[in-house]
Amino acid sequence: MSNDWQFPIDREIKLCNRMDELQRLNEGLEEIGAEVGWTARAVLDLSLACEELVVNIVNYGFPSGGEHHIDVLIQASPSSVEVKIEDSGVPFNPLQTADASTLLELEDRPIGGLGIFFVKRLMDDIHYEYAGGLNRFRMRKQFGYTHQNDDQA
């Protein structure tokens, strides 16, 4: 359950299903980060998680082409963020993709497959549902703590 009062910023970044929209996505996140006081690194991590999900939608969401919208909804506070990403593309649950193996030798490495793995590593409380003709992805992140989930080994 999110408590709305915890999120002074509530913003929508409306994107089209094109790769060059990543620039607007990033600018939007930087703007919110500056307003709410996130570290540069927090913005980069959030940018990475959002990019990977949006790129997936751009690449695979609309196989018959055409211009479509991807809605990125951001609720932000100085210490936390909740992101919702919604699109009307083909139903696809990114959380069902297998994690990329990060231990394979160079020759055996598949090209790709790391994107959703990054999202899982960087964000908390990740949730997907298909409802009302929409792919609805939600993720949260609490800032301001040491990165306890980042095992440096």
Partner 1 sequence: MNIEATELNGVTIIPLEGRLDGNNATVAEQAFLKLFADGKQLFIFDFTNLQYISSAGLRVILVAAKKLRASKGRMVCACLGEQVYDVFEMSGFTTILEMAATREEALEKIGAGV
Burial 72-98 (b: 16+ CB within 10 A, else e): bbbbbbeebbbbbbbbbbeebebeeee
Query: At its nearest, how many Å lie between partner 1 and the CB of residue 104?
Result: 8
Total residues contacting partner 1 by CB under 8 A comes to 32
Query: At its nearest, how many Å lie between partner 1 and the CB of residue 115?
Result: 4
Judged by CB under 8 A, does residue 68 bind partner 1?
no
Mask 1-30, x = binds partner 1 (CB under 8 A)? Answer: ------------------xx-xx--x----
Query: At its nearest, how many Å lie between partner 1 and the CB of residue 44?
Result: 5
Per CB under 8 A, the segment of 3-11, 83-91, 100-108, 136-144 that binds partner 1 is: 100-108
Per CB under 8 A, the segment of 42-50, 63-71, 82-90, 136-144 that binds partner 1 is: 42-50
Chain contacts with partner 1 (rule: CB under 8 A): 19-20, 22-23, 26, 41, 44-45, 47-48, 51-52, 54-55, 58, 100, 102-107, 109, 111-115, 117-118, 121, 150
